[in-house]
Amino acid sequence: MSQSMMRALRLTDWQSTPELSEVAIPEPQGSEVLVEVTAAGLCRSDLHIMGSPAGIYPYDLPFTLGHETAGRVAALGPAASGVAVGDPVVVYSRWGCGACWQCANGRDNACARTQRTAHGAGLGRDGGLADYVLVPAARYLVPAAGLDLVNAAPLTDAALTSYHAVTLSLDKLRPGSTALVLGIGGLGHMAIQVLKAVTAARVLAVDVRDAALDLAREAGADAVLSAQDLTPADVRAELGPDGATVALDFVGADATLELAAGSVAQGGDVAYIGRGGGELKVKPGLIPYEVTVRMPTWGTLPELAEVVALARTGAIHSEAEVYALDQAVEAYGRLKHGDVVGRAVIRADG
Ligand SMILES: [Zn+2]
Ligand SMILES: [Zn+2]
């Protein structure tokens, strides 16, 4: 491998397996910053992207996967400032237009104009499953000094997306409240920790896998239930007859959404987060009155800084299964089959 080339896990065709190829190391222009990748997390949404037929995602192929990245600043474009070569950072991978009403309010995650274009690292633009990743500006980098970078990578999506979903319901998660967490994977196990760290809610975790329920207990869940044949009545027997103040669905399948709608308390919140593609029906009789239904995506940059601060206190921690970059396809296979406990993370130097 020559000095100006690097490895990158690229999606070259829709409905196909990504390929590890050799590409040129990008040179930062203007305000861009080049980051040498230490670690990058694998997400279920990557499986969704690579498994989709052409036309579902507004991305041009090929591009490098990976939207959960931690590393060190390697080079700055001539107009970049605010970071220095060698700085440990985590990458905020959802890049907004910077001009719409959402971006103007600091909500790049919900940018109103980039949803139908490439919109971030590993999301149509080259991502972190490579030796280096190019970031448009230093503002998308959050300082990560003092953190283990392998464990820090999942903070940028698994923890951030969970934190954002919890934050949107924070007002209801008061002492005496309850939270139902459906699906204890990369995001769910972070959500439990976030709920315990920043709210007073009693947390019930649900998954079909025994290993995931063990992980939920370790993450601090007050109670766990197997999703097998689980009914809203079972949830209410555990959380009390009012039901769950907030139901967070990290699966997003028809069955989990039905369970969330049937278990949420009158006036509570349902958050549809997992990309399971299920349908949540809203009509009287199917969902209690005064319920707020949300479909959050990612989190904001300020929230990523808060997540990093929370990780620094030790209050949240990602359970990582570590792989080398040339094992990424194998690791995606394990993720697809539900065999990953916590988050699969690729170490770039592995
Ligand atoms: Zn993701
Ligand atoms: Zn925007």
> Taking 60 as the threshold, does the pLDDT of residue 310 lie above it?
yes
> Taking 90 as the threshold, does the pLDDT of residue 3 lie above it?
no
Q: How much distance in Å is there from the Cα of 106 to the middle of ligand 2?
A: 9
> Taking 70 as the threshold, does the pLDDT of residue 113 lie above it?
yes
Q: How much distance in Å is there from the Cα of 286 to the middle of ligand 1?
A: 30
Range 289-311 average pLDDT? 97
pLDDT of residue 11: 98
Query: For the chain, how many residues are written?
Result: 350
The Cα–Cα gap between 123 and 110 comes to 14
Write out pLDDT tens, residues 98-108: 999 999 999 99
Q: How much distance in Å is there from the Cα of 342 to the middle of ligand 1?
A: 13
The Cα–Cα gap between 226 and 206 comes to 6
For residue 192, what are its two tokens?
């439990």
> Taking 50 as the threshold, does the pLDDT of residue 1 lie above it?
no
Nearest ligand to residue 114 Cα: 2
Write out pLDDT tens, residues 123-164: 999 999 999 999 999 999 999 999 999 999 999 999 999 999
Nearest ligand to residue 104 Cα: 2
Q: How much distance in Å is there from the Cα of 296 to the middle of ligand 2?
A: 16
Residues 6+ apart with CB under 8 A from 54: 14
Point out the least confidently predicted range of 74-78, 113-117, 119-123, 146-150: 113-117
Q: How much distance in Å is there from the Cα of 210 to the middle of ligand 1?
A: 23
Helices (H), 130-208: 149-152, 158-168, 186-198
Q: How much distance in Å is there from the Cα of 120 to the middle of ligand 2?
A: 12
The separation between the first and the last C-alpha atoms of the chain, rounded to the nearest angstrom, is 16
Q: State what percent of residues in the chain have pLDDT above 90.
A: 95
Q: What share of the chain is helix, strand, coil (3-state, %, to 5)?
A: 30, 25, 45
Pair 76, 29: CB distance under 8 Å = no
Q: How much distance in Å is there from the Cα of 46 to the middle of ligand 2?
A: 23
> Taking 60 as the threshold, does the pLDDT of residue 81 lie above it?
yes
Summary mean pLDDT of the chain: 96
pLDDT of residue 116: 86
Write out pLDDT tens, residues 208-258: 999 999 999 999 999 999 999 999 999 999 999 999 999 999 999 999 999
Nearest ligand to residue 160 Cα: 1
For residue 348, what are its two tokens?
């770039």
Q: Label residue 69 exposed, middle or buried (CB < 10 Å: 0-12, 13-18, 19+).
A: buried
Nearest ligand to residue 103 Cα: 2
CA-closest candidate to residue 63, choices 121, 15, 2, 132: 121
Nearest ligand to residue 275 Cα: 1
CA-closest candidate to residue 103, choices 301, 303, 297, 308: 301
Q: How much distance in Å is there from the Cα of 67 to the middle of ligand 1?
A: 6
Kindly indicate the confidence band of residue 331, based on its pLDDT and cuts at 50, 70 and 90.
Answer: very high
pLDDT of residue 348: 85
CA-closest candidate to residue 69, choices 144, 159, 156: 156
pTM score above 0.85: yes
Nearest ligand to residue 101 Cα: 2
Q: How much distance in Å is there from the Cα of 124 to the middle of ligand 1?
A: 13
Write out pLDDT tens, residues 191-205: 999 999 999 999 999
Point out the least confidently predicted range of 21-25, 82-86, 262-266, 346-350: 346-350
Q: How much distance in Å is there from the Cα of 114 to the middle of ligand 1?
A: 17
The Cα–Cα gap between 344 and 350 comes to 13
Cis peptide before 288 (omega within 30 of 0): no
Residues with CB under 5 A from ligand 1 (ion): 43, 45, 157
